[in-house]
Amino acid sequence: MKIPYFPGCSLKTIGEGFEKSAIASAAVLDIELNELPRWVCCGTVSSLTTDDLMHHLAPVRNLIRVQDLEETQLVTLCSVCYSTLKRSNTLVKNDPEKLKTMNQFMYRESDYQCNVKVLHFLELLREIGFDKIKEKIKKPLRGLTLSPYYGCLLVRPKEFGIDDPETPTILQALTKALGADVIDNPYQLKCCGSYHTVDKPNLVADLGYKILTYARNSGADALVLSCPLCAFNLDNRQREIKRQYPDFVEIPILYFTQLMALAFDLDEERLGFDIHYVDPVPLLKEKQLLIDSLPLIKEK
Amino acid sequence: MSKTLKLDSEDAKKFAAKIQERSGEPIDMCFQCGECSSACPVSPEMDLMPSTLVRFTQLGLKDELINAKTIWVCASCFHCVARCPKGIDVAKVAEALRQELLRKKLDYVEVRDLSMEERQEIPQIAIISNLRKFSR
Ligand code: SF4
Ligand code: SF4
Ligand code: SF4
Ligand code: SF4
């Protein structure tokens, strides 16, 4: 299966390992993720006021690019891009007047016909079936205990979420299928502080402390998630958490696609662990999921 | 110090209607159950609880609302709307209120306030989303 894929800026920078591991593990499942040509930044957060069409233009422009390829689906990895693209798509589908205005404004583009569906990669995996994924496993993640973390935009608001907004199970199902153990974390849906990482890093550290400490105290070896902004707040901001809470013990963060790539035994180059703040490599070696002989960490 | 709230003034009514329209939320339906406030993960940082923000909006208390810290603390995390029995999205109400100031070019965050170190360290997804929420 070939499917257009929207990376967004984060997967080209802080989420490099997310992109590489996703493309490589998708290939194992016979999915070819083709980067959307001429994609533009979706604008990150979706506009929440009724009279602001301007900020829906960029998401819709990306959907027109999909339409121009004569494709009907667009896959994302970043939860933020997913939510923003999906919200704009839903808006124009339900409001022909607004769509008309936007089409007229983007007169150089073809008119958007609302035939594109926005999907998160996790939804695609669920469609394929976790049993099918199981068949491809070469190295089950035995001995690894994980705390799934959904955050906000993957599941809320519910019209735009990929799973139940209060009791989602999709990350649990995937990580279990890959052979790992899963713990329940009541903070799995709690916001990480999002964009406040710019103006209120202390608040983000407070929120991260609770999410991560609960995971650690419940026996999790790492947190598993699907969003580069959550990852920045919960991985890189551990430096600030440590400053604020001297008792804090670091814990690695992994993208679900990195877990898949590990279980499929793909080469480490594609995992991107070298740019994580808390290095997951010692943990993965201890669990014998990575082999010692391969030098993994590039010189900083 | 006492302060008189002019609840029924024309201005208050107009402001309430404006925010209701701009947010697209059925603010009038709020019956103050407090579910949103109990669900909100950042309410300890707020001066007005999310439910109070909605109540004050019903009453059109413009000054109290646009001077509240709350509108700059809301993280648009949608915990409130997931719980509200009336389906009211407080994130939309907060955004409609912020826009009252931002459309007058009263930015809350400016790029030049960020240090060189912060600019290098913080990823674009964070900076862009923050500026989209807190600047014009
Ligand atoms: S939203 Fe980012 S992650 Fe999505 S493309 Fe734009 S600035 Fe990036
Ligand atoms: S958890 Fe944080 S970054 Fe992730 S979607 Fe929520 S607010 Fe956003
Ligand atoms: S969207 Fe805003 S008001 Fe609602 S729960 Fe999140 S931070 Fe609180
Ligand atoms: S949950 Fe809804 S009805 Fe209850 S106080 Fe909040 S906004 Fe009002």
Judge whether B135 lies within some domain: yes
Confidence of residue A20 (pLDDT cuts 50, 70, 90): very high
β-sheet bridge partners, residue A104: none
Contact B129 A44 (CB under 8 A): yes
Of B23, B82, B125, the CB nearest to A165: B82
Say whether both B126 and B89 belong to one domain: no
Share of chain A above pLDDT 70, in %: 97
Would you place residue B2 in the very low, low, confident or very high pLDDT band (cuts 50, 70, 90)? low
- Residues B96 and B114 both lie in one domain: no
pLDDT tens, residue by residue, A234-267 = 999 999 999 999 999 999 999 999 999 999 999 8
User: Is the pLDDT reported for residue B125 higher than 60?
Assistant: yes
pLDDT for position A270: 78
- Report the mean per-residue pLDDT for chain B: 93
Q: Within this chain, do residues B120 and B75 fall inside the same structural domain, yes or no?
A: no
pLDDT above 70: percentage of residues in chain B: 95
Evaluate if residue B3 carries a pLDDT over 70.
no
What's the complex ipTM? Answer: 0.91
For residue B22, the distance in angstroms to the closest alpha carbon of chain A comes to 5
> How many whole angstroms from B31 Cα to the centroid of ligand 4?
6
| pLDDT value, residue A96 | 97
Question: Tens digit of pLDDT for each residue in A135-166?
Answer: 999 999 999 999 999 999 999 999 999 999 99
- Quick one: pLDDT at residue B112? 84
In a domain, B5, yes or no: no
Question: Are residues B55 and B21 located together in one domain of the fold?
Answer: yes
Indicate whether B1 belongs to any domain.
no
Q: Is B134 exposed, middle or buried (0-12, 13-18, 19+ CB in 10 A)?
A: buried
pTM: 0.93
Supply the pLDDT for residue A300: 44
Closest to A262 (Cα-Cα) out of A180, A184, A188, A183: A180
At B10, is the secondary structure helix, strand, or coil?
Answer: helix
User: What are the structural domains of chain A?
Assistant: 2-122 (1.20.1050.140), 139-299 (3.40.50.11810)
Distance from CA of B135 to the nearest CA of A (A): 12
Domain extent for B124:
108-136
Kindly give the number of the ligand 3 atom that is closest to the alpha carbon of B43: 8
